[in-house]
Amino acid sequence: MTPAEWENMSSVAHGSFDSAFDRVKQTLLSLKPHERFAVYADYGLEPSTAETLPKPVLTDARDTEYRHHHQPRLSESRDR
């Protein structure tokens, strides 16, 4: 795909990219010391006090893609 084609496939659902980026930045800068990171929930970022990131909730198609990109290939595991 060309850069222009990618540009057409991604966008911000409401408002502009700049306002969306400002909301993300504001959320991250306002995290308290006990809030380790922000997680996406209910169409926005929410502070989280969990020790680790939650595992992604995946649909069948996304699960297959996730495994394809995040599990070592058979040949890679033999090299270890």
Q: How far apart are CA 24 and CA 39, in angstroms?
A: 11
Question: How many beta carbons lie within 10 A of that of residue 59, not counting itself?
Answer: 9
Tens digits of per-residue pLDDT, 33-79?
Answer: 999 889 888 878 899 998 887 777 666 666 666 666 666 655 555 55
pLDDT higher at 12 or 33: 33
> Number of structural domains, the chain?
1
Q: Is the pLDDT of residue 17 over 70?
A: yes
- In the numeric block, the tokens 């400002």 are attached to 22
Q: How far apart are CA 20 and CA 17, in angstroms?
A: 5
Query: Would you state the pLDDT for residue 68?
Result: 66
Burial of 20 (0-12, 13-18, 19+ CB in 10 A): middle
Range of the domain at 10: 3-78
Evaluate if pTM is beyond 0.85: no
